Structure 1
């Protein structure tokens, strides 16, 4: 039986990918950020997950205003890095797991979630930056990936509660798959940041740290955060944090925190990272 063995959350700031691609990791500006992922890379090399269900948002790269699914799942064999205007990142193509992806799609739809099925999908920094953070530079990614795309760009995005419930449904789907697989689920995006307007550059450390704490101690409270609170406290792009709730909802009631990292700033964004292990 497949099982979810860990949940990982991390920001997916595009400048992080650029720093890695252009060998800036060791500079004074970037070193403190990347040092916070050293533990995770060693741990990931030991864990060697078979599949990563990676929850991210497309940044008007493959989905634009012509078509905006609330939730989509990538069912292809391979996902190519997208060209976001400066050429594709120099990272390997992402290998999918179509059999498990189709099982998830069927299970989620029959569980009354309207999931868009993507049989072709180019993946942008929302997916490739977390992969680089966890696995480093590599000629081939060491795990197969099922992309789960969430709309947090065009209003209205899904609620935190809806994302949590999707995580619970993903957990049920994984547990019903009869192949012996070690599966991790990652939530990406955030933390507090705003890219435009009078509040551009907003970072709210108190909100971010409280969010990280509640992922472990009071996750039910996070389900009830309304959109307006994310906007007010975490900036217009802080809504990406609802994707972390899909990860957390898939882990069950109780978790153990294995690692945490928080750093500001990375470009104009607060970077958060946490690794959780389900205990129930």
Structure 2
């Protein structure tokens, strides 16, 4: 059967994608940001080798706008093109989907009482392509299939951390019931602390960010109970993106082990966080 072997959490800062695309990865500003992904890049290439990544991200008004705001949307198509976010699509490969697994997950989640929106055509923006770039590098094609799972964390009301964690648990059940032998990873992206507007623009809370990363490891489920107001107060208006990491964590099962971790400030006007987890057995 298919199995979830690892979880990856990472920020998806658009400026990181621009730095990669424009050959600035060795600049003194960007080098320490990207150095934290070197371990993961080698691990994915030499050891992990996933067949499919379920990539949890949020759209930034590229595929969705105020006309339609799905809380959870799963991409079931065969391919997803890089979106034009105002300065042309990023020069990265087209994302190849895995329709069979995606449709199986969609059916399983809906029968498990999650009201999923099914998307067959969608362009994907930096929320999805930057994580692929920092983990896989500049490649002619992505080395695995990708199932996009979009979460509304842009317009009120976003889903609760508890609902996101439970969705991750349901995804794990769905993957485990798929009969094909597949090595599957779940990635949670976005965050960490940042605010893009208002009098608190530029807010970064290092202590809270690192406590969040700490609590992804082990057998605690404390993170699923953090209320929206705490994210807003402690991590800024865009810090709510961290609930997407909880889908990844929920999919890892009762307990996790940390394989790698990276935290860096600043990158553009945000903190960059990154963690690699595996399910802990027993």
Fold shared by both chains (TM-score > 0.5): yes
Q: What residue number does 1:99 align with?
A: 100
Q: What residue number does 2:246 align with?
A: 245
The superposition leaves residues 20-52 of structure 1 with CA deviations (integer Å, 9 ceiling, x where unpaired) of 000010001000011100000000002110000
The superposition leaves residues 67-99 of structure 1 with CA deviations (integer Å, 9 ceiling, x where unpaired) of 000000000000000000000000000000000
Match status 1:33 vs 2:33? yes
Map 1:177-192 to 2 at 5 A: 177-192=178-193
* Distance in 1, Cα, partners of 2:10 & 2:112: 28
Structure 1: stretches of 5+ with no match in the other structure: none
Q: What residue number does 1:133 align with?
A: 134
- How many angstroms does 1:279 deviate by? 1.6
Map 1:257-276 to 2 at 5 A: 257-276=258-277
Task: Quickly say closer, same or farther: Cα 1:219–1:81, change in 2 above 3 A.
Answer: farther
* Distance in 2, Cα, partners of 1:119 & 1:130: 21
Map 1:1-280 to 2 at 5 A: 1-46=1-46, 47-217=48-218, 219-280=220-281
* Distance in 2, Cα, partners of 1:258 & 1:24: 28
* Distance in 2, Cα, partners of 1:4 & 1:167: 11
* Distance in 2, Cα, partners of 1:44 & 1:220: 27
* Distance in 2, Cα, partners of 1:216 & 1:140: 32
* Distance in 1, Cα, partners of 2:267 & 2:219: 27
Q: Is the 8 A contact 2:54 2:146 kept in 1?
A: yes
> Number of residues paired by the alignment?
280
- How many angstroms does 1:219 deviate by? 3.8
* Distance in 1, Cα, partners of 2:279 & 2:230: 28
* Distance in 1, Cα, partners of 2:62 & 2:220: 31
CA RMSD of aligned residues (A): 0.6
* Distance in 2, Cα, partners of 1:254 & 1:226: 22
* Distance in 2, Cα, partners of 1:38 & 1:257: 16
* Distance in 2, Cα, partners of 1:34 & 1:122: 25
- How many angstroms does 1:218 deviate by? 5.7
**Helix, strand or coil at the partner of 2:213:** helix
Q: TM-score, normalised by structure 1?
A: 0.99
Q: TM-score, normalised by structure 2?
A: 0.99
* Distance in 1, Cα, partners of 2:220 & 2:141: 35
* Distance in 1, Cα, partners of 2:222 & 2:279: 18
**Helix, strand or coil at the partner of 1:258:** strand
